[in-house]
A and B are shown apart, each in its own frame.
Chain A
Amino acid sequence: MTQGTPPLSRLPAGKQRQRRTQQRRWLNRLWSWLITLAGGSVILALLGIFVYLLTEVTPLFKPVSAQPIVVEHSPPAFDITPAPIPAAAATAAGFEVAFSLVEPLQGYLLLAASNGEACLWWQRQPEAGCLQRLSLTDRTVNLTTLRWLAGKQSIVSGDSSGQLKQWFFLPDEHGQLRISWIKPFARRNAAIVDIAPEQGRSGFAVLDAAGGVSLFYANLTKPLWQGQAAEYQRATRLQFSQRNEQLWLLGPGEPTALQLDNRHPEISWRTLFQKVWYEGWQQPEYVWQSSGGAELRQGKYSLVPLTIGTLKAAFYAMLVAVPLGILAALYTACFLSEPLRSRLSQLIELLALFPTVIIGFLAAIWLAPALEQHLLALLLFLLLLPLLVLALARLWPRLPKRWQQIPGSGWDLMLLAALLFVTAYLALLGGDTLQQQFFSGSFRFWLNEQGVSYQQRNALVVGLAMGFAVLPIIFSICYDVMSQVPRQLTLGASALGATHWQIVRRVIWPLSLPGVLAAVMLGLGRALGETMIILMATGNAPISNFNLFEGLRSLTATLTIELPEAAVDSSHYRMLFLVAILLFIFTFMANTLADLVRQRLKRNFQRLDT
């Protein structure tokens, strides 16, 4: 230290102080900007993702457009000479054959006369004559065209009254192949002149005598596009270009052509949410079937099985997690005393950290086979447990006084745990014995014989496994809410002479109910968005039912399984983005509801505090 007079204040002198203030102001501003930027960019990123999803999906629903163009080069010659008809077939039909179609896989032959009379003949049974006789038109009108759609699984016929009909080859109840009438398409205004199938896709174009051209897709009765022009009247034939981008109208005069923009004909709201009768299927159904390994003629993209799968898995998981989570929270928050209480709650919350892949894996390789073997034991357990607990409760007052006074909390926990184990053991023993005695060794196969479909990897397995994953979320929120009930209320009730049980039922429970609801909604959000458990514990079969013993396919699992293989910009690819949006909407709804409920809860507590 020097001898000079020490400064009166340690605060910096005028100029320096000013500089410091300025510095601090700058720093503050910088920080606030950074924070704003971070917050804003998060919001922007979220919006961006959503907008991106939408831009990927919107092309699916873009209306089809067609522009007349100048034909630059004449289309490749198109072989329209029909295959020779075997003499045996012609005699079997007994009419003058105007149209003939050959089924390529087995060699069935469909012959038709110009009045619509038709005969199905099979080369493997030539002596049988016509296997089926039918009329492809109403008697009064003439058949004018008969064409295969791509893939040669379904037929479209057109007649002189402008009607279009779709026909399938379907086996009847005896396994005999039959031509079956499927559906009419929207009627054209004039006689049908020609039908052209798309290349490698199930759409087709129709030309009518009034010069009308319309584009159809096999699953939809209404045309995707239609147009009319006088010059089209000259045309007699339609043909698609190799990639279905152009439609040529050919005839005696100059060929004309239409440039088409029809990328995703198979997607419409109808095919996404209604039953569709696909080629070769026995009846209309909700089908999700895609393939990255091959180009499909008909993508089958129904969102119904996936939505049902997601809801089914979430429902059964909630069935497990909600009662267990809420009751566990109630017990821990209201009935346990301190050291044990916080330790137990921490332990349950720790379960949330369990990687879901592990849960899914265990569910698939251990739980699913075990459940299949001991299904009866599980049912017995669910039946026995409440009975035994009730019996114990009934027995309790009759026990000697010495036994009833349990030292400290935690003992009842031990006692009930012991009861649980005893019940489980009894159920296992009883279930297996019953199974051997009455169900010829396997309850699961017995169920099958009763007509209940049972798959090893089913919704029950998912419910248990995912319930286990959702439970900690529900528990921890419920626990927090219940232990935050204002103390003056419980103490007040206690002072007024309420019993512990009365306090729980009349004070804690009603107050924490909104919080419990919020916990349930958050758990639901988690269950809807869960991926790995469902992916691994189910067979991912896209089934549309709520059977507990059958598998399911969720929106999330579909994304995981299929997104890596989807060809960019294909219908399949865009459909998967639509699936993602649907999933987003589900979880968003669950979480928003939870938030609303939570805000109400906050207001309730504020009111109580004042």
Chain B
Amino acid sequence: MLVATAKLRLMIISLVLAALSPALRAVSPEQSATLAVAEPTPLSGTLSSTGSDTLHNMMMIWRRQFVALHPQLNLQIQSSGSATAPVALLEGTASLGPMSRPMLAVEQERFRRRFGYDAIAVPVALDMLALYVHQDNPLRSISMAQLESIYAQNRLCHRQAAIERWGELGLAGTWQSRPVAAYGRNPASGTYGFFRQQVLCEGDYQQRVQQLPGAAAVVRAVSQSVNAIGYSGLGQQIAGVKILALQADANSPALMPTPEHAISGRYPLARVLYIYLNKAPARALPAAEQAFLRFVLSAEGQALLSNDGLVPVPAALRAQAIQELGL
């Protein structure tokens, strides 16, 4: 049952594809892709962004290219976790709020109370959480139920026994008795919440799960510890780790996190990454924000995503965002 709802969430992407309103067709994907990247008028000033650590690398990459187009423009990026984005938008200390999860009802409500309208979410990338193990680990794939048994304290989803040793995942030999050392993110990260929602069914983490600040820190820790497993964004691949294929349920095949599986919604740990904006419905965005988002959503900006292991947003979803922003 729960697996079904988890799947549903991911199917939203494909649903949006199917259920495009006529208004949306006014701006076709081709048109959006051909939106001019270079602005004729030079932009200047300072843009600041506060939020997700998952999107940090990507924001840096976008910034490099974007600032090359607008040398007068300064873009400051601060990445200490998705939860910092709503606060920064609310206080006006940042105009871009990258988030690796949608805003919570409470956050949205506080925003609405201050400004009278909702913060706008712009989908900028698809991300997949990958399961990392040490490169010497012979395991190839893992199921969602097994993951829950490793990470969860109360195992609400599948109600299966806890897993403490690699032997319980089917490994033999010296691996059989080796304990599983589970690594994850700290609670400030959207990744922590996403994993908790998808894998633990909103249950509690085991007390022994080690919480590391930073997406790269998790992968680094896994690369240094032979009996470790950790979850982090796909963009964090380094030497010494291996990515596991993930099996949604007993009847489906184990899938590697690839762009096709993210878009089809079959890889169970895929999600949309957003940049949140403070935009009054009647007023247009300031020119600098407009230019940046136009760049991010352009074919060129989306092509850069693969540098960080992210997947472009489906064209239709992008077109909808472009129309909503009035770019």
Interface residues of A (CB under 8 A from B): 104-107, 151, 153, 171, 175, 177, 278-281, 285, 287, 289-295, 300, 305, 364-365, 368-369, 372, 440-441, 445, 448-449, 453-457, 535-536, 538-543, 550-551, 553, 560-562, 564-568, 570
Contacts and interface: CB of A to CB of B under 8 A. Distances in A.
Contact of B208 (A171, A290, A541): A541
A435 to B, nearest CB: 13
Contact of A445 (B178, B190, B193): B178
B286 to A, nearest CB: 26
Interface stretch (B13-21, B23-31, B65-73, B209-217): B209-217
A333 to B, nearest CB: 40
A540 B178 contact: no
A177 to B, nearest CB: 6
Contacts of A175: 159-161
A294 B202 contact: yes
Contacts of B205: 289
Contacts of A567: 83, 104, 106-107, 110
A539 B210 contact: yes
A293 B156 contact: no
Interface stretch (B135-143, B181-189, B317-325): B181-189
B121 interface: no
A445 B181 CA distance: 12
A107 B224 CA distance: 42
B2 interface: yes
B106 A295 contact: yes
Interface residues of B, number: 57
Contacts of A564: 80-81, 83-84, 188
Interface string B209-246: 11111000100110011011000000000000000000
A507 B87 CA distance: 61
A541 B205 CA distance: 10
Contact of B192 (A291, A365, A454, A455): A291
A540 B159 contact: no
B41 interface: no
B269 interface: no
Given A372-B225, A456-B225, A564-B81, A293 B154 contact: no
Contacts of A177: 159
Contacts of A449: 177
Nearest to B186: A561
Contacts of B101: 293
A116 to B, nearest CB: 26
A266 B186 CA distance: 22
Nearest to A553: B211
A293 B210 contact: no
Is chain A's interface secondary structure helix, strand, loop, or mixed overall?
loop
A366 to B, nearest CB: 9
A274 B145 CA distance: 32
Given A106-B159, A293-B104, 19 more contacts: A105-B159, A107-B1, A281-B204, A293-B83, A293-B196, A295-B104, A369-B224, A441-B174, A448-B178, A538-B210, A540-B210, A541-B207, A541-B211, A542-B207, A551-B210, A561-B211, A561-B213, A565-B82, A566-B83
Interface in B82-119: 82-84, 87, 101, 104-107, 110
Contacts of A550: 208
A570 B188 CA distance: 15
A104 B209 contact: no
Contact of A279 (B107, B154, B192): B154
A543 B207 contact: yes
Contact of B187 (A287, A291, A364, A440): A291
Nearest to A563: B188
A105 B1 contact: yes
Contacts of A457: 210, 221
A303 to B, nearest CB: 15
27 contacts: A104-B1, A105-B1, A105-B2, A106-B159, A171-B161, A175-B159, A278-B154, A280-B153, A280-B204, A291-B192, A292-B81, A292-B187, A293-B82, A293-B101, A293-B192, A305-B207, A364-B221, A365-B220, A368-B224, A372-B225, A454-B179, A540-B186, A541-B209, A551-B208, A560-B213, A561-B187, A567-B107
